[in-house]
Amino acid sequence: MNQTKPSTKPAPLGRGLSALFGDADASYQARPIAPVQEKPRGASHGVQTMPLAWLQPGAFQPRRHFDEDAIKGLADSIKERGILEPLLVRPLEGMKDAYEIVAGERRWRAAQLASLHEAPVVVRAISDREALEFGIIENVQRQDLSPLEEAEGYQRLITEFAYTQEGLSKTVGKSRPHIANMLRILTLPNSVKQMIGQGDLTLGHARALVAAKDPIALAHEIVRKNLNVRQTESLVQEAGGKPASAKKKAHGASGAAQEDHDVLALEKELERVIGLKVKVTTHGKEGSLTLFYKDLDQLDDIIKKLRG
């Protein structure tokens, strides 16, 4: 049984946010903010100025932590040079003079800190799905997301908008193994994920800990001893696990190991979506998908889903 893809295929967005601004002048440079002559509600083209009070953080912003020192540094830059890149916003349905930030929340926060009252924006009618895509893409391209925030953003696209890992790879411009590796860290215990979110553990540490029998104990040991990734992989092996990045000596074994990890990630993804235990078996480019049910009610439910 082949995994189905969303009926509406999103256009690849990995080439950058500049493409989202349509006919906005790509050479846009900051200029003194002029009073808004007309309310821009419903506008969808070009760069315009808008009161900061009309803007609010996006519900689909993947980033949860904003570095205060970095915001202060950006605010100082804005004081001297203005806002060099307009914010991408979308109107909030049913609300007057209210817009949600799709891309540019850091600039909005820094502009407030710099005591500005208005900012350059581009208004677009954007769906929830696109808003999440744009938020992830902007932050990934700027390397602004923590590993956990990036992984959670990918998982939201899969869970809420029926993305496959392959489709997600094409949309955000990342390889499928990268997507699979990021999703694996979400299987770690919450206390370990918290350490990742705080920056105590790197992505390399997290990937090694995915295969650990007791990731919580090892995570604390890694932080306490300030171990690097290679030392972490050795620690996991000594504790009876196999780090995700371990390389095999036999020719071609590393590729097989990577494929095994991809299959496991796919099984977990399907189990979350379907609600049943799933087994994926591969034979080169071919393979099989097995669903396990505990009773006839579960079987009836999956048959109904397959029939649409």
Domain residue ranges in the chain? 17-132, 162-256
Q: Is 204 helix (H, G, I), strand (E, B) or coil?
A: helix
CB 181 within 8 A of CB 204: no
At 144 the pLDDT is: 64
At 148 the pLDDT is: 84
At 132 the pLDDT is: 79
Percent of the chain's residues with pLDDT above 70? 73
> What's the mean pLDDT when you consider all of the chain?
75
| Distance (Å, whole) CA 16 – CA 279 | 37
| Distance (Å, whole) CA 163 – CA 9 | 9
| Distance (Å, whole) CA 150 – CA 156 | 10
Does the annotation mark 105 as catalytic? Answer: yes
For the purposes of burial, counting CB atoms within 10 Å of the CB of 241, is it exposed (0-12), middle (13-18) or buried (19 or more)?
buried
At 213 the pLDDT is: 86
- Minimal CA–CA distance to 9: which of 179, 176, 163, 165? 163
| pLDDT(92) > 50 | yes
pLDDT in tens, 47-61: 899 999 999 988 877
The answer to whether domain 162-256 has CATH 1.10.1740.10 is no
Gap between the terminal Cα atoms of the chain: 14
Mean pLDDT throughout 254-277?
A: 65
| Distance (Å, whole) CA 182 – CA 127 | 25
Tokens of 4: 């189905």
Question: What is the distance of C-alpha 231 from the center of its chain?
Answer: 28
At 280 the pLDDT is: 83
Angstrom CA distances, 305 to 271, 273, 290, 302, stand at: 14, 11, 15, 5
At 157 the pLDDT is: 81
CATH of domain 17-132: 3.90.1530.30
- Among 105, 130, 138, 152, the active-site one is 105
pLDDT band (50, 70, 90) for residue 28: very low
pTM exceeding the 0.75 threshold for the entire prediction: no
Tokens of 6: 């969303």
CB 16 within 8 A of CB 141: yes
